Amino acid sequence: MPVTRIVMEGSPVVNSQRLLERFLRYVKIDTTANDASTAAPSSPGQLELGRLLVEELQALGIRDACQDPYGVVLATVPATVAAAETIAFCAHLDTSPETSGSGVKPQVIRDYAGGDLVLPGDRSRVIRHGECPELEQMLGRTIITSDGTTLLGADDKAGLAVIMETVAWLMEHPESRRGAIRLCFTCDEEIGRGVDHLDLDRVGAAVCYTLDGPGADTIDVETFSADLALVTIRGVNIHPSIARGRMTNAVRVAAHFIQALPRDALAPEATAGREGFLHPYELHGGVAEIQLKILLRDFQDALLAEHADRLRQLAAATMAGFPAATIDVAIRPQYRNMAAGLAREPRAVSYAQHALARLGRQAQLASIRGGTDGSRLTALGLPTPNLSTGEHTPHSPLEWTCLEEMVQACQGLVSLAEVWVDGLTG
């Protein structure tokens, strides 16, 4: 197969064919996170992919590459400038449990000519040009999709592939200027456990960058704050034949509670921009007891607390209508807006902007309606903005990515490593 390289004036020459092959190799490993599992990591495929990455890193000459008992992969790209500060690059091994990641069959569409993309494994699933304005910028580029029966896994295997190909480039170019770069591949980010077993002292970096973003040249500098509400609804179960005046059906109580949640506001399907939401996304149980999970999201922690209060008020109102029922609302913190933490180390963002400017590109600072490992890392004291890797329509069988945007992400990382040596004046 011929080697394809993409060259932009003043930019590193990235082996795009090798990058593509890495990505295709990674997405075929099922790393779906499993929220029902108490194991760490929650699925065996994450260990399998982590072992593969360790092998590939060692083959590139990264001697300290290792996988810890929790599946986390750590490694160090050695410095060529001894006095430079250490930075870190991070991506996650798992994929979302919202769509199957088993048996991914990636489709490579070269020289995209425009129009809709019908996915061959399920032709009812179509990536529609009119619903994906980003496709307008993809003419002539290489697009990768699944066959429509699974997600693709670009979230976050595009990030993994970008980091790995950047490492290959750096190791092939000992003349490049860089301090030590710590690599960190986490597990179970999609179910909120990404940094549960990550020792920041072992990372040992001044700043970190997650590679887990859309498009190109975007730097996520603000995220939602997030909590999970675990709502337990208990009824009174008895045989239906003798239930008159005695049964309280927890399913009916749950239906009443859910119906009372806002639908025209404070719902993801009815909000945009800086509006938060309450999102019921999982329900199971029966007449005796129902377990309901609800995502709470907003950019301000105070508003997040208000959403929790709203749930408690709805629970009280529902119990008033079903006196024999009990409803418990437990709030589990997930992550917090990274904006305040990044403000305490402004170089994390300004150096990323400058790295793109050196390549003749302009960074777009973004606030995202979600979160990354960077949200939690920043809260723990390691400033971690999120960088683009070409991910589009994640968590869906309509997920796709663009090879050229992944190449741009690699070029940006090489430039970023140099900026951390040269500073803003370099």
What gap in Å lies between CA 381 and CA 389, rounded to an integer? 24
Task: Please pick, among 189, 220, 345, 391, the residue that the annotation labels catalytic.
Answer: 189
On the CB side of 355, how many CA atoms lie within 13 Å of its CA?
A: 27
Burial (CB count <10 Å: 0-12, 13-18, 19+), residue 158: buried
What gap in Å lies between CA 352 and CA 227, rounded to an integer? 29
What gap in Å lies between CA 203 and CA 399, rounded to an integer? 31
DSSP labels, 123-170: TT-EE-GGG-GGGGG-TTS-EEE--SSS---HHHHHHHHHHHHHHHHH
- The conformational region for residue 68 under phi > 0 = left, psi -120 to 50 = alpha, else beta, is beta
Q: In angstroms, how far is the first alpha carbon of the chain from the final one?
A: 39
What gap in Å lies between CA 408 and CA 390, rounded to an integer? 9
Q: What is the dihedral of CA 237, 243, 246, 251, to 10 degrees?
A: 50
b/e map 93-104, b = 16+ CB within 10 Å: bbbbbebbbeeb
What gap in Å lies between CA 250 and CA 324, rounded to an integer? 10
Task: Please pick, among 30, 94, 227, 373, the residue that the annotation labels catalytic.
Answer: 94
Q: Among all chains, which residue has been given the structure tokens 């400058």?
A: 354
30 is catalytic: no
189 is catalytic: yes
Q: Among all chains, which residue has been given the structure tokens 């993809």?
A: 138
What gap in Å lies between CA 406 and CA 393, rounded to an integer? 15
Q: Among all chains, which residue has been given the structure tokens 């870190």?
A: 88
What DSSP state is assigned to residue 83? T
Six token digits for residue 232: 């337990």
b/e map 362-391, b = 16+ CB within 10 Å: ebeebebbebbbbbbbbbeebbbbbbbbbb
What gap in Å lies between CA 304 and CA 369, rounded to an integer? 13
* Active centre residues (catalytic): 94, 189
